[in-house]
Amino acid sequence: MKKEITALILTGGESSRFGSNKTSALLGRKTLINHVIDSIPKRWPIVMVGPNYASPRNFIQCTREVPAGGGPVCAIEAGLRLISTEFVAVIASDMPFAGRVIKALSQQVIAKDALIAIDEKGYAQTLCAIYRTEPLHTAIKSLEPLAGLSMKKLLPLLDAEKISLGKEFASSLLDIDTPEDLQRLKSEE
């Protein structure tokens, strides 16, 4: 049986280390956000939290966290209001190849509240993970007020499994925080 999953893309970060809106930065001929969108299976609905986005994929629903820039937990809560699937794949917009990881995670048995990819350094990539929608929503509700909360406050409230997908997925977990990160990724293409 296939899992019903909605992709929840978080785009509302300030990009302070990048110096400008990094979702519109080019990697090859596409913006970072378009890399993320294009890597998501076509049958999955997409909810995007952040500034409005014009996309050729007309089923993308956009919303905004309150307050704007309120952080990832606040953004996830805003997106969850539009999601009715059993699972939600939370993806940061600065991880252009995260869809590859999310697809691999979606093929796994998800017996706990969350299945979170671990990068090569052993860091849990909470913004490249699949969560059961209901436990995630319940955990977030117990944290209110949400503005400014990091994922470090949310994660202990969930029964999460952390999984390494191996070296072949290492480059798919790279995130772009600075212009130097983007240049490094461009040189590896």
Residue 27 forms part of a structural domain: yes
Share of the chain above pLDDT 90, in %: 49
Residue 188 lies in a domain: no
Alpha carbons 155 and 135: distance in angstroms, whole number: 11
33 — pLDDT class (breaks 50, 70, 90): confident
The answer to whether residue 106 is domain-embedded is yes
**Helix (H/G/I), strand (E/B), else coil: 55:** coil
Question: How confident is residue 87, by pLDDT bands cut at 50, 70 and 90?
Answer: very high
In a domain, 189, yes or no: no
Q: Please, which residues have CB within 8 angstroms of residue 168's CB and are 6 or more apart in sequence?
A: none
70 vs 169 pLDDT, higher one: 70
**Prior bond to 67 cis, omega within 30?**
yes
CATH number at residue 78: 3.90.550.10
Q: What's the rounded Cα separation, in Å, for the pair 80 and 19?
A: 29
Domain count, the chain: 1
DSSP state of 154: H
Which amino acid is residue 172, in one-letter code? Answer: S
Structure confidence at residue 52 as a pLDDT band (50, 70, 90): low
Q: For the chain, percent helix, then strand, then coil, each to nearest 5?
A: 35, 20, 45
Position 188 scores a pLDDT of 58
Query: 2 Cβ partners below 8 Å, 6+ apart?
Result: none
Q: Which domain holds residue 27?
A: 5-181
Q: Considering the domain boundaries, does residue 186 fall inside one?
A: no
pLDDT at residue number 16: 55
pLDDT bucket at 163, cuts 50 / 70 / 90:
very high
* Comparison of pLDDT for 167 and 9, the residue scoring more: 9
Q: What does each C-alpha distance from 3 to 74, 81, 88, 131 come to in angstroms?
A: 25, 19, 10, 12
pTM (2 decimals)?
Answer: 0.89
